[in-house]
Structure 1
Amino acid sequence: MGHDDVTITRETGRRLAAVHYEARTEDIGAKAGEAFRRVAGHLARTGVPITGPAVSVFVADEDAFSVTSGFVVDSDVEPGEGIEPFRLPEVEVATTTHLGPYDELDKAYDALGRGAAAHGRRVDDTGPMWEEYWSGPDTPPTQTRTVVSRPLVTPR
Structure 2
Amino acid sequence: MGHDDITITHETGRRLAAVRYEARAADIAAKAGEAFRKVAVHLARTGVPITGPAVSVFEADEDAFSVTSGFVVESDVEPGEGVEPFRLPEVEVATTTHVGPYDELDKAYEALGRGATARGRRVDDTGPMWEEYWSGPETPPAEARTVVFRPLVPSR
TM over 0.5, yes or no?
A: yes
Is contact 2:16-2:76 (8 Å) kept? no
What SS is found at the alignment partner of 1:57?
Answer: strand
Superposition RMSD on alpha carbons, in Å? Answer: 0.5
Report matched runs for 1:6-155 at 5 Å. Answer: 6-155=6-155
* Distance apart, 1:76 and its partner CA: 2.1
CA distance in 2, matches of 1:59, 1:75: 24
The percent of aligned pairs where both chains have the same amino acid is 86
Q: What is the TM-score when the length of structure 1 is the normalising length? A: 0.99
TM-score when normalising by structure 2: 0.99
Structure 1 consecutive aligned stretches of length 4 or more whose deviation exceeds 3 Å:
none
- The AA in structure 2 aligned to 1:122 is R
Would the aligned equivalents of 2:54 and 2:133 in 1 still touch at CA under 8 Å?
A: yes
Per-residue CA shift, 1:54-107, capped at 9, x if unaligned? Answer: 000000001000000000000220100010000000000000000000000000
Q: Which runs of 5+ in 2 are unaligned?
A: none
Q: Deviations over 1:131-154 (max 9, x none)?
A: 000001101111100000000001
Quote the Cα distance in structure 2 between the aligned partners of 1:118 and 1:43.
41
Matched residue type, 2:73: V
Counterpart contact for 2:18–2:69, Cα < 8 Å:
yes
Q: Distance in 2 between matches of 1:76 and 1:4?
A: 35
**Given residue 75 of structure 1, which amino acid in structure 2 is its aligned partner?**
S
Q: Deviations over 1:97-135 (max 9, x none)?
A: 000000000000000000000110010011100000000
Q: Which amino acid aligns with 1:128?
A: P
Gaps in structure 1 of 5+ consecutive residues: none
SS in 1 for 2:110: helix
